[in-house]
Amino acid sequence: MTKSYVYFIENVETKRIKIGKSINVISRFSSIKTSNDCEVKLLGFVEGGHDLEKKLHDRFAASRVRGEWFTEEIEPDVMVIIGGGRVVDETEIEFLNNVIPLIIKIIDESKAISDRTNSDEAKDHLRDVRSLLGSSMGLVKTLIDMHEESTNEQA
């Protein structure tokens, strides 16, 4: 069964927060980022699907602006949800948003290698990258470290 995630995206200008779900948070964030006329940032994500998303929408119903967008007053609760009981700080959010373009580049390059070479090793690498990305925010750094290590081995 494919894992699903509930993500939290903030409109930087209005401070409103979107609560949505996706099986590919990075791709979904990228899509929202390019289709929005203002800056948005990914606050984080947690494992969970439709049931969790609905539960959170119901929990914050009084703060709903429209659709999946909520007022900034839910941010403290969102930060605890993302942190698994601890508050996530701005440094972690900034880090996540700085590495997203790198993650997308890594995925695109891995896919290009896989398509070009059609090798099992390239396909395995792409599968591993996708698997790591889907696991949690903490694994983003692991992914970057792994990529740097493999680049150093090839040099």
Residue 40: phi and psi, rounded to 5, are -125, 155
Against a cut of 0.75, is the pTM above it? no
Q: Is the pLDDT of residue 154 over 70?
A: no
Report the C-alpha gap between 82 and 74 in whole angstroms.
12
How high is the pLDDT of residue 47?
86
Tokens of 134: 């889907």
Q: Is the pLDDT of residue 37 over 70?
A: yes
85: Cα separation from own chain's centroid: 19
Q: Is the pLDDT of residue 145 over 70?
A: no
| Residue where the block lists tokens 């609760």 | 77
Over residues 38-91, the pLDDT tens digits come to: 999 999 888 888 999 999 999 999 999 999 999 999 999 998 898 877 667 777
Over residues 83-116, the pLDDT tens digits come to: 877 667 777 777 777 777 777 777 677 777 767 7
Span 109-129, average pLDDT: 70
Report the C-alpha gap between 51 and 77 in whole angstroms.
18
